[in-house]
Chain A
Amino acid sequence: QVQLVQSGSELKKPGASVKVSCKASGYTFTNYAMNWVRQAPGQGLEWMGWINTNTGNPTYAQGFTGRFVFSLDTSVSTAYLQISSLKAEDTAVYYCARDLGYCSGGSCHEDAFDIWGQGTMVTVSS
């Protein structure tokens, strides 16, 4: 079945880095864009940006530039989110979410997020 499986919870100290993985299965990975969504404790959903799985080109939302990097390894159908120089306010659950819109010819159609990973809790604490 179509699913996204994310890596496990992480506990990091301020200033460290973390890399979250999101492994896709059950569909052709490069046919659909991958989005990243953050949810701080007790808060709502916040879109971080997305990566074109055809070209590897990332797009970052405002507030998620500089310390956040989206990447891919298409050979293992996996998307990654790396966060550097971690701060306490980065403590959150991070979700990957597949975009229902189809990617073709280097561009992807924006649509609903139809498949979500289970989430990865990242805790930043000294």
Chain B
Amino acid sequence: SYELTQPLSVSVALGQTARITCGGNNIGSKNVHWYQQKPGQAPVLVIYRDSNRPSGIPERFSGSNSGNTATLTISRAQAGDEADYYCQVWDSSTAVFGTGTKVTVL
């Protein structure tokens, strides 16, 4: 079965840039979606189809996808960006989530 690997945690200084990776075999050939989940809340879609932002998501969130790695970038990180982040793809009609990354803003 297809697997997506994310770092367990990423730390970023306030106002700096955080990059969260999502590794998978030839993930560049798939559409990657990213979700933000704050404690006690439901996940929220922040990037869909590699690099598209839903309405209401700040421009500070961006995504890219190539080769075996997709990346979610959070620019000018704010305290409110502290959350768990999950990548997700579809593989053989199965939705697969990444292992999740906890982002801490210092």
Contacts and interface: CB of A to CB of B under 8 A. Distances in A.
A47 interface: yes
Nearest to B6: A44
14 contacts: A37-B43, A44-B86, A45-B37, A47-B94, A62-B1, A62-B94, A95-B43, A97-B43, A100-B48, A111-B49, A112-B33, A112-B88, A117-B42, A118-B42
A23 to B, nearest CB: 15
A97 B88 CA distance: 13
B29 to A, nearest CB: 14
A45 B94 contact: no
B4 to A, nearest CB: 10
Q: How large is the interface on A (under 10, 10 to 19, 20 to 34, 35 or more residues)?
A: 20 to 34
Majority SS of interface residues in chain B? Answer: strand
Interface string A45-73: 11100100000000101100000000000
Interface stretch (B11-19, B20-28, B69-77, B96-104): B96-104
A45 B49 contact: no
Contact of A113 (B31, B45, B98, B99): B45
B44 interface: yes
Interface residues of B, number: 24
B42 A113 contact: no
Mostly, the A contact residues are strand
B54 interface: yes
A89 interface: no
B90 A113 contact: no
B45 A112 contact: yes
Contacts of B88: 45, 112-113
A116 interface: yes
A119 B43 CA distance: 10
Given A44-B100, A114-B54, 16 more contacts: A37-B43, A44-B99, A45-B86, A46-B97, A47-B96, A47-B97, A95-B42, A95-B43, A111-B33, A111-B48, A111-B49, A112-B45, A112-B48, A113-B35, A113-B88, A118-B42
